[in-house]
Amino acid sequence: MYIASKKSSAKSSVKSKFRIKRGLLIIGCFLVLVYVVFYNKVLLLSMLEKNPQLFAVYEHIALQIQGRTLLGLGYASFFGALFFITFPMEVLFLYYATLDYFSLSLVAIVLTGGLMGMTFNYAFGRVVGTNLLKKILKKNFSTLEWINERFGTAFIFIGNIIPSPIEPFGVLLGATKYPFKKYVLYVFAGRLLKYSFLILGTDYFLNTVYPALLAISPF
């Protein structure tokens, strides 16, 4: 029985090491991809041009965003919700509010794109982050789990209402296996409140808040 227990422990250790190596490999590939996409567009375009289908998709997304279409807003909402991109979606949403679009359509689109992006963050943490964080934090990982379990709901709800870098927190929640249904619910509720407030107070935000955000925005 002791030998069986020892073999089981060894198998578990091998699996854990494999998951950590897999996680590091995924993160390494991911960082290379982020570098190419956001910091070396010449290399990106040269790679895309070799694949007509991918290049057509890239051109389509770029044209939609540049053309300020509703589909472009959806793409921007998705990309802006990813944990490795810093983009003030509130500024873009207020700009769209000045265009000739139906307010409920704008809210529905930014909610859908934002939820998709935040779901990606959670999934990335769930797939890659758990074993890696356990290895790095060791005994402190249980403390992180406790903090997320106790305060995660408040963080994710409030962080999606106020303009804040809440996206990386979604990765941590995924890594600590915070309940996915609760995660989606509070992301949705927080963002719904935020964009509803922006629609209801469009004049105030456009005349007072928007110029202030524009002044500090890097875009």
Burial class of residue 182 in the structure, from the number of CB atoms within 10 Å of its CB (0-12 exposed, 13-18 middle, 19+ buried): middle
Residue 13 within any structural domain of the chain: no
Residue 53 within any structural domain of the chain: yes
Q: What does the block give as tokens for 110?
A: 């930014």
Residue 9 within any structural domain of the chain: no
Q: What is the pLDDT of residues 154-163, one digit of tens each?
A: 999 999 998 8
Half-sphere exposure of 136 (CA within 13 A, CB side): 12
Number of structural domains (the chain) is: 1
Domain containing 94 equals 19-216
Half-sphere exposure of 117 (CA within 13 A, CB side): 27
Q: For a pLDDT cut of 90, what percent of the chain falls above it?
A: 28
Contacts of 39 (CB under 8 A, 6+ apart): none
Residue 6 within any structural domain of the chain: no
Residue 7 within any structural domain of the chain: no
Residue 79 within any structural domain of the chain: yes
Cβ of 97: how many Cβ atoms within 10 Å?
19
Residue given tokens 């472009």 in the structure block: 72
pTM of the model: 0.73
Please report which helix (H) or strand (E) contains residue 126, including its range.
none
Cα-to-chain-centroid distance, residue 201: 26
Q: What is the pLDDT of residues 66-113, one digit of tens each?
A: 899 999 999 999 999 998 887 788 888 988 988 889 989 999 999 999
Residue 12 within any structural domain of the chain: no
Residue 211 within any structural domain of the chain: yes
